[in-house]
Structure 1
Amino acid sequence: MTLFEFERDFAGSLRCIPMLARMKLDLCGIKLSLRQWSRFSHEERATLVDLPFENDADKEAYRALLLTLIETRTDEPARFLATDSFEEWEKAHTVPDIVATQAIRDGIREPTLLEWRNLTPLQRFSLVKLSRCSHENANFRPAMREFLGR
């Protein structure tokens, strides 16, 4: 299971959704609430973190499993996201404004373009995600420290 150090306390037990699973959810276009996530068994949550997600067949299998779990384990309908707005983290040619703004807000230096390019897609996704979620901004600084030594 791939977990970042900054998320081990809250995601290590899988009571919260790890960044790797969040990225997969976004890429397959499904918004999963923490309430829905908590209705899945620990084994089902671990599967959602660990399932391969390399090609279209993997993504379709992941999406199908997720929709089945939502339908069978929760009393809420699946909610869908647009999957065409991932430029901020998928493209390594520019540091997103949202990340730079959050770094300034936290009083740390924003990533340089070279640093941004050298991050993995999951690290870039995490920084963008942590810049957006007001309730999770506390994890932006630890993520920057872990990824870039800030």
Structure 2
Amino acid sequence: MGLLEAPLLFDFEVVSSEDFKFIPMSVRFNLDRFGLRISLAQWLLLPYADRVLLARFPVDDDTAIEPNFDHALFEMMRTHAGVEPEWFAPDVEPAWRDTRAVPDAVAHQCGIAGLTVPAAERWAQLAPFKRYILAKLSRKPQGNHDFVPAMKEFGLVG
């Protein structure tokens, strides 16, 4: 599978990620699936063109389909930041993969935002990457400013 024609950004990300000052969700997804961690400061050491390129990698959950994200990131980090990303063991059963129930953290964010928790059937219909995003935006106990816009963009709020 090749690179996407353009960086993958959702509408709710455009304000914060259009200039790539922040790490887009597509890059976060690939970092998590490969078990790699970089800081925002390290991200900003990469040239703009490299940040855009990383946001063009596919967001498929199968690392065998596009194994070059990790290689590209390592080369970019060595070249421009003089460091390598940190490794961690990816969660083999993240809550967002379960299509039978909305993760507790997502339900908690809905409560903070005054939103109705999506029905399990609706959750199951979301693309895996969208479920990942909502779970990622819900990982902290306090409200996330991108959560409600993401829920709206994904059709879960009227």
TM-score, reference length from structure 1? 0.89
The answer to whether the 8 A contact 2:105-2:139 is kept is yes
Q: Which has the higher helix share?
A: 1
Residue by residue over 1:16-35, the C-alpha shift from the partner in whole angstroms, topping out at 9 and shown as x without a partner, is 11111110110011012111
User: Paired residue for 1:73?
Assistant: 80
Deviation, 1:87, is 2.2
Residue by residue over 1:39-71, the C-alpha shift from the partner in whole angstroms, topping out at 9 and shown as x without a partner, is 111111111111245551622x21111112222
Paired residues, number:
149
**2:104 maps to 1:97:** yes
- The 5 Å alignment of 1:1-150 reads 1-52=7-58, 54=60, 55-56=63-64, 58-59=66-67, 61-133=68-140, 137-147=144-154, 148-150=156-158
Residue by residue over 1:52-104, the C-alpha shift from the partner in whole angstroms, topping out at 9 and shown as x without a partner, is 45551622x21111112222221444212221344211221211011001111
Which segments of 5 or more consecutive residues in structure 2 lack a partner in the other structure? 1-6
Which segments of 5 or more consecutive residues in structure 1 lack a partner in the other structure? none
The letter of the residue matching 1:102 is: Q
Go from structure 1 to structure 2 and tell me whether the alpha carbon gap of 1:132 and 1:84 turns closer, same or farther (over 3 Å shift).
closer
Go from structure 1 to structure 2 and tell me whether the alpha carbon gap of 1:33 and 1:136 turns closer, same or farther (over 3 Å shift).
farther
Go from structure 1 to structure 2 and tell me whether the alpha carbon gap of 1:99 and 1:57 turns closer, same or farther (over 3 Å shift).
closer
What is the root-mean-square deviation of aligned Cα atoms in Å?
2.0
Instruction: Measure, in 2, the Cα distance between the counterparts of 1:23 and 1:7.
Output: 14
